[in-house]
Amino acid sequence: MEVAVLVLLVSFLILLALNVPISISIGAATVLTMLCTIDFDPAMITMAQRMASGIDSFALLAIPFFIFSGMLMGSGGIARRIIDFAKVLVGMLPGGLAFVNIISCTLFGSISGSAVAATSAIGGFMIPSMTKAGYDKNFNTAVTVASSTTGLLIPPSNILIVFSLASGGVSIAALFIAGYLPGLLLALGLMIVCGLWAKAKGYPVGEKPTLKEAVEKTLDAVPSLFLIFIVIGGIISGFFTATEASAIAVLYSLLLSCVVYKEVKFTQLPALLTKSVETTAIVMFLIAASSAMSWIMSYQNIPQTISQALITLSDNPLLILLTINLILLAVGAFMDMTPAVLIFTPIFLPVVTELGMSPLQFGIVMILNLCIGLCTPPVGSVLFVGASISKTSITALIRPLMPMYLMMFAVLALVTLVPAISEFLPRALGLIE
């Protein structure tokens, strides 16, 4: 076992250091570890079988549909309408444009299911608009980067589907509903930070819209926002499963983008489909490779060994939970969310359940940890997208991001220590006992 663990860890870290794509690094490290324990032919066959079985899940069909739906929404003028709606709500407050940015990223992220898409779509408009209004460019980018992660907690969210698979069957509907309060709490916390920052810097106050403008902008955004009610309402009421909901989301997005708003032409659909297929292939290969790595880790009893070590680390459950959170924060800073969920869920889930934390609550805690990793160096994908949009450096963003990091850590602590934040809504709706 010791040799296998060493080979797995060292080869994986070396490949990452050489800038090999994460999916290839995971797959190659897994193959090398298998070759240390079994012969060549069985190793190759086992690797292929585990990769194939890793993506042989009906629930995973939701991912390509939600990806395509997000592509349609991102190209269909949804972002601009959500921004206009957010301005109606909070644009007239001190630091109002920062609030608009946060609300827009939260809404668009939840609709598209992608933090990167939210950063690109909302940031591409809001960062220059805020800069033109007198806000600091680095602050504007930091707001976009931090708030775009909230949409991964608020459904529909592909990463919650992946956690359901990795955990062995936690209800996707319950996970979807469980993400609402933590996601909204995170958005509210970021708004508090931005409000204090804007007041300290003396940023301008936006104009109050007229009643006519407010009604027009709200009605224009209602069809976009209605997608959330269709997907979640249908799942909760039992009209369709999460996978079926993803297909309905595609149909609704097509109708909205091509017929209602008419901002996506039918001739553009092949290009959008191609891009969706490319993104789906990347995600599925990540899931397949991570599933194989999870299997070889289980075969070598690595999760059980780590779990036992964590449990015997201390008699204080809070210290163990703190250790797990710190590990996940470090993992999120270096690894993509999908393989992180698939690899570390089998390791930590038995530990937290023994400490009394439900798998549902742990799912939200884990995703929140990894969301923070998306906007932290050195690998945070959302951080790099935001920096490229605003044409600034990563180091310049760290200072305005620091108070936002602190707020995100505070929300993480609350979600970890207070189960009701994750479990109240699913329990109230009868999704959990």
How far apart CA 276 and CA 30 sit, in angstroms, is 28
Residue 335 DSSP label: S
Are 384 and 413 a contacting pair, CB within 8 Å?
A: no
Beta bridge partner(s), residue 94: 205
Mean pLDDT within 307-321:
84
So where are the chain's domains?
Answer: 1-54+283-299, 55-264+300-428
Average pLDDT, the chain: 85
pLDDT at 22: 81
> d(Cα 334, Cα 320) in Å, to the nearest integer?
22
Least confident of 9-18, 23-32, 72-81, 207-216: 72-81
> Alpha-carbon distance 340 to 317, whole Å?
23
Classify burial at 259, counting beta carbons within 10 Å of its beta carbon; exposed 0-12, middle 13-18, buried 19 or more. exposed
Distance of alpha carbon 224 from alpha carbon 119, whole angstroms: 18
Q: In whole angstroms, what is the distance from residue 333 CA to residue 399 CA?
A: 17
CA gap 243, 59 in Å, rounded: 6
Instruction: Answer whether 348's CB lies under 8 Å from 311's CB.
Output: no
Q: What is the DSSP string of 275-333?
A: HHHHHHHHHHHHHHHHHHHHHHHHHTTHHHHHHHHHHTT-S-HHHHHHHHHHHHHHHHH
Higher-pLDDT residue of 194 and 16 is 194
pLDDT band at 309 (very low <50, low <70, confident <90, very high): confident
Q: Let me know: does 363 contact 159? Beta carbons within 8 Å.
A: no
Read off the pTM: 0.86
Neighbouring CB atoms inside 10 A of 398's CB total 15
Mean pLDDT in residue range 365-392: 85
Tell me, what's the pLDDT at 339?
86
Between residues 387 and 156, which one has the greater pLDDT? 387
pLDDT for 323 beyond 60: yes
Q: Nearest to residue 199, comparing CAs of 130, 104, 86, 98?
A: 98
What is the per-residue pLDDT for 410? 95
Instruction: Pull the structure tokens for residue 364.
Output: 């939200």
Query: 74 vs 63, which has greater pLDDT?
Result: 63
| Selected residue with higher pLDDT from 207 and 312 | 312
